[in-house]
């Protein structure tokens, strides 16, 4: 604090300037006072400040040492189970590295439509005839069947050879000549039959081709001169 003894303006506005004093040296710090009252409640959190600009990208670090090569994994098929129709397919991998097993559950599909009947295959080669089996016991005699239809008459057999001519008998006596019969009446002449109709005129045949032109005749004599 400055000395304000000779400053009338400060004496007017600041009551402490009504007395003259000379500022002495700063005294020692007094002992700390007792602890204050209870801590007040925490005030509300202030609004988040504006995000500051992104700092420059740092220098790329040194490349680390190459790690040792791991074991090559081995994947084999484990169990394959058929699931219920309409269920979801499931695939799981079990085992311990590097040996793994792939287990599959595949749902059963619906029964497909009956396919078209394929063509009949070619007849196979006839197998060899099997050996004759033992003769079975004679069966009971069946009932007599109905009489069959009479078959057609067979063809006439070949005529047998002519027998030998028998002995000629004696000639009998000549009989009496009978009377000559009367001449019969001549029958009437039949009527002349009706004349048949005249047949239709036939189609005129095509005109034959024109013959070749004959040779030119000789020139006649010159006529007499006129008067």
pLDDT per residue, tens digit, the chain (227 aa), is 445 455 555 545 455 545 555 667 888 888 877 766 677 888 888 899 889 999 999 989 989 988 888 889 999 999 999 999 999 999 999 999 999 999 999 999 988 889 999 999 999 999 999 888 899 889 889 889 888 888 889 888 888 888 888 888 888 888 888 888 888 888 888 888 888 888 888 888 888 888 888 988 988 888 888 87
pTM of the model: 0.25
The Cα–Cα gap between 1 and 22 comes to: 9
CB count within 10 Å of CB 17 equals 20
In sequence order, what are the beta bridge partners of 106?
82
Burial of 95 from C-beta contacts in 10 A (0-12 / 13-18 / 19+): middle
The Cα–Cα gap between 81 and 106 comes to: 6
- Write out the DSSP string of 80-145: EEEE-TTPPPEEEEEEETTEEEEEEEEEPPPPPPPPPPPPPPPPPPPPPPPPPPPPPPPPPPPPPP
Of 40, 4, 35, the C-alpha closest to 20 is 4
Three-class DSSP category at 10: helix
Chain centroid offset of residue 23 CA = 116
Of 60, 55, 109, the C-alpha closest to 82 is 109
């Amino acid at each position: 604090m400055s000395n304000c003894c000779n400053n009338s303006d400060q004496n007017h506005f600041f009551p402490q300037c009504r007395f003259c004093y000379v500022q002495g040296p700063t005294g020692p710090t007094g002992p700390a006072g007792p602890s204050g009252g209870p801590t007040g409640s925490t005030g509300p959190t202030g609004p988040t400040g504006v995000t500051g600009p992104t700092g420059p990208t740092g220098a790329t670090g040194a490349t680390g040492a190459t790690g040792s090569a791991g074991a090559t994994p081995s994947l084999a098929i484990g169990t394959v189970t058929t699931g219920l129709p309409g269920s979801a397919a499931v695939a799981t991998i079990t085992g311990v590295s590097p040996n793994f097993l792939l287990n599959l559950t595949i749902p059963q599909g619906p029964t497909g439509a009956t396919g078209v009947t394929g063509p009949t295959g070619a007849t196979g080669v006839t197998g060899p005839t099997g050996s004759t089996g033992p003769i079975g016991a004679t069966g009971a005699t069946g009932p007599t069947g109905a009489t069959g239809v009479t078959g057609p008459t067979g063809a006439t057999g070949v005529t047998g050879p002519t027998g030998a001519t028998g002995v000629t008998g004696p000639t009998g006596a000549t009989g009496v000549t009978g009377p000559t019969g009367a001449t019969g009446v001549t029958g009437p002449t039949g009527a002349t039959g009706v004349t048949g109709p005249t047949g239709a005129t036939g189609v005129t045949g095509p005109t034959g081709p024109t013959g070749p032109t004959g040779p030119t005749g000789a020139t006649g004599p010159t006529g007499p001169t006129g008067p």
